[in-house]
A and B are shown apart, each in its own frame.
Chain A
C-alpha cells in the first residue's frame, strides 16, 4: 500500500513547551491507524496538524506526495470526527450531513441520495428532521461520522470519538467504526488513550509519549514485542523486571537464569525483561523457578489476579487457580513468555505492582481527557 500521508520532522510547541518533537510518520492508504498515548503526549496535536487546524513549527506534511503544510483545513481532502462531535446546532440531522455537499453546490437529488446512503450506513434513517441537540450521545456520534464521510474524503480523522460514550456503547461503536472503515475502504486515523480500543480496531498502532513516537507496529507486534518499558506498560499488563543478558537466549532475573528466545545483546548487558501476567504459571514452591509470597488476590471473573512478592519485587500473575493470600508459591515461565528489551529512559518507571499507581494513572488520564 502506498504512503498517503507523510509527516517529516514535525515539531510543535505551545508557550515554549515542546508538544511534538521532530516526528516522522507515514500513513498508508486504506489503513486503520491509531495514535495511542497518554493525554498530553501530542497525539491530538499530530492529528490537528494533519487536519490543518494547527501548523507545525517545523517540518512538512505531505498528502499523496504533495506538500500540504500550508494548505488550509477547508482545502484538504481529510475530514474529522471531533471529540465533542461539533455538530451544528442550528441545523437538523439531515442538514448537518448535507452541509459539506451544499458547499460543493451539488444538486438536490445527489445530496438526497448521498445523505440517505450515509443515514442508512449509520442506521439513523428516520432521524432526518430531528434537531441534533435532542439526540443521544451515540446518535450524535453517528451523525458526526456520517457528516465527515459524506463528501467521500480520502482520510477520516477521529479525535477520541468514543471518549464521551459509556462502556457498552463504546464497544458497539468500536465494531461499527471498524466495519464502516472496511466497507468504504478509506484511511482512518484514530486518536485514543484507550489501549484496548487501539488494539481491537487498528491495522497499525503508533504509540506516542512525550511528543515522540515510541513504537509503530501491528497490534500483535506492539503487544508481544514492546520496544521499551513505556510501551510494555502502556499496552496491557506487564511485569517489567531488571535483568542481565548473560549470553544469547540466557537472561538472569532475580539471580535465576532463564532461557529465552531473544538474542543480539552484549554480554552481561543490563536489560528490561517483560513478562506478561498470563505467561506466568503458578506451581508448587519447590517446582518453581522463583519463589515468592502472595500479598493480594483479586477475583476478576475469568481469572484471579495475584500479586506475588519475589525478592522485594511485586509481580502480577493471572491464574485460573485460586491461591490463598500469604501462601508461598513458585512460578514457572516458558522461554516464549520472556521478552527482552534494551534499557531506555523509561526503565525502572513502570512494571512494579507494589502500588496502585497504574490505576491511578488511568484515572487521571481519563480526567485529563475530559478536560481537553
Chain B
C-alpha cells in the first residue's frame, strides 16, 4: 500500500492534509473502474442509439421510439401499480417486523430474504403452476379463475418478486428510529395510529423513497415476469429490448435503453430532491 510510506509522522495539520490526499488514492481503482466500465459503456449505448446499422449518424432510432410509446406507457403503469401495492403491503410488514422482538426480527428478515436464493425464473414457474387455469388454486377451490395471462398476474409477479426490496430499506429505517420518538409522540397526545402517521411515516421517508426506487426500476424493465405470467398477450418495454437484442436490432434496442435510462435517472433525481426537501437534510 502506497500510504505506508508516510510512516508515523505525527499529527500536525500539514501531515493530516498530506495523508488525506494520499489516502484518497485508495479510491483510484474504483474511479478507474467506474470510468472504464460504467461511463464508457453508457457512451457506447449513446453511440449506438444515434447510428444506424451501418454506423452512420442517424436520428431514426430515436424517432422510431414514438412507436413504442404505448409499451412505455403500459410498462410504467404496471410498474406504478406494482410499486404502490408493494408499498401498501410492505410498509405494514416492515413496521410489524421492526416492532417485533429483536430475536424474531432477525428470523423474519431471514425468511424474507430466503426466497431470493431461489432463481427468479423458477419462482415464476412455480407461481404459474399455482395460478394457472388448471393450477393448484383452481383445482383446490374447484373454480376456473383466469389469472395467468392477465395484467393482474404480471402485477402479482412483480409484487411477489420485488417485495423484499421494498421491505428491507423501510425496515432498516424504522428500526433505526429511536424508541423515544414513539414515546415522545404518545406523550404529546398522539394515539398509536397518529404516531405512525405523523411521526414514524415522515421519519421513514428515506426508506420509502429507496424502497420505491428499488421496486419501480426493476418493475419497469422486467422482461421475464411479463412474458410468463402475462401469457405473452402483451409486451413490456423490457421484452421489447430483449427482442431487439435477440433479433440483432441493437441500435433500436440501444435507443430504447437510452431513453429509459434517462427517464429513470431524471425521476430518481426528482424523487431524491423531494425527499431531501421533506427531511430538511436530516438523514445523512
Contact = CB atoms under 8 A, between A and B. Distances in A.
Q: Tell me, yes or no, whether A binds B.
A: yes
Interface of A: 51-53, 72-75, 78-80, 82-84, 86-90, 92, 99-100, 103-104, 131, 133, 147-148, 151
What 4 pairs between A and B have smallest CB-CB spacing? A86-B180, A86-B184, A73-B186, A100-B188
Nearest to A48: B183
Contact of A88 (B181, B186, B191, B194): B181
Q: From B180, B184, B195, B203, name the one whose CB has the most chain A CB atoms within 10 angstroms.
A: B184
Interface stretch (B106-114, B167-175, B239-247, B274-282): B274-282
Nearest to B203: A90
A87 B199 CA distance: 10
A53 B186 contact: yes
A151 B205 CA distance: 28
A100 B282 CA distance: 22
Contact of A89 (B187, B190, B194, B282): B282
Contact of A103 (B180, B183, B194): B194
A79, A87, A88: which has the most chain B beta carbons within 10 Å? A88
Contact of B189 (A86, A87, A89, A103): A103
B202 interface: yes
Given A88-B181, A90-B202, A90-B205, A104 B282 contact: no
A51 B194 CA distance: 18
A86 B281 CA distance: 17
A133 B189 contact: no
B49 to A, nearest CB: 41
Interface residues of B, number: 24
A90 B282 CA distance: 7
A92 B181 CA distance: 15
Contacts of A78: 187
A100 B194 CA distance: 11
A84 B179 CA distance: 11
Contacts of A88: 181, 184-185, 199, 202-203
Given A74-B195, A78-B187, A88-B203, 19 more contacts: A51-B183, A72-B186, A73-B186, A74-B188, A74-B190, A74-B194, A80-B184, A82-B180, A82-B183, A82-B184, A83-B180, A86-B180, A86-B183, A86-B184, A87-B184, A92-B280, A103-B188, A147-B188, A151-B188
Contacts of A104: 189
B281 A131 contact: yes
B284 to A, nearest CB: 10
A86 B181 contact: yes
B229 to A, nearest CB: 39
A148 B180 contact: no
Contacts of B278: 90
A104 B188 CA distance: 10
A90 B186 contact: no
Given A82-B183, A90-B203, A74 B282 contact: no
Contact of A90 (B184, B187, B194, B280): B280
B67 interface: no
Interface string B15-52: 00000000000000000000000000000000000000
A204 B178 CA distance: 32
A170 B205 CA distance: 35
Contacts of B280: 89-90, 92, 131, 133
Interface string B186-213: 1111110011001100110100000000
A149 B88 CA distance: 36
A53 B187 CA distance: 8
Nearest to B190: A74
Contacts of A80: 183-184, 187
B189 A100 contact: yes
A295 to B, nearest CB: 41
Contact of B187 (A92, A133, A148): A148
A133 B186 contact: no
Nearest to B283: A89
23 contacts: A72-B191, A73-B183, A74-B185, A74-B186, A74-B194, A74-B195, A78-B187, A82-B184, A83-B180, A84-B178, A86-B178, A87-B184, A88-B181, A88-B199, A89-B203, A92-B280, A99-B198, A100-B189, A103-B188, A103-B189, A103-B198, A151-B188, A151-B189
B186 A79 contact: no
A131 B282 CA distance: 8
A78 B194 CA distance: 18
A88 B184 CA distance: 9
Nearest to B204: A90
Contacts of B181: 86, 88
A82 B183 CA distance: 9
A91 B223 CA distance: 42
B83 to A, nearest CB: 23
Nearest to B191: A74
Contacts of B202: 88, 90
Nearest to A54: B183
A78 B188 CA distance: 9
Interface centre among B185, B188, B191, by most chain A C-beta atoms within 10 angstroms, is: B188
Given A90-B278, A131-B282, A133-B282, A84 B187 contact: no
Contacts of B194: 74, 103
Nearest to A78: B187
B188 A53 contact: no
B203 A74 contact: no
B203 A99 contact: no
B181 to A, nearest CB: 6
A73 to B, nearest CB: 4
A191 B218 CA distance: 52
Interface centre among B181, B186, B198, B278 (most CB of A within 10 A): B186
B178 A74 contact: no
Contacts of B180: 82-84, 86
A80 B188 CA distance: 8
Nearest to A87: B184
B202 to A, nearest CB: 4
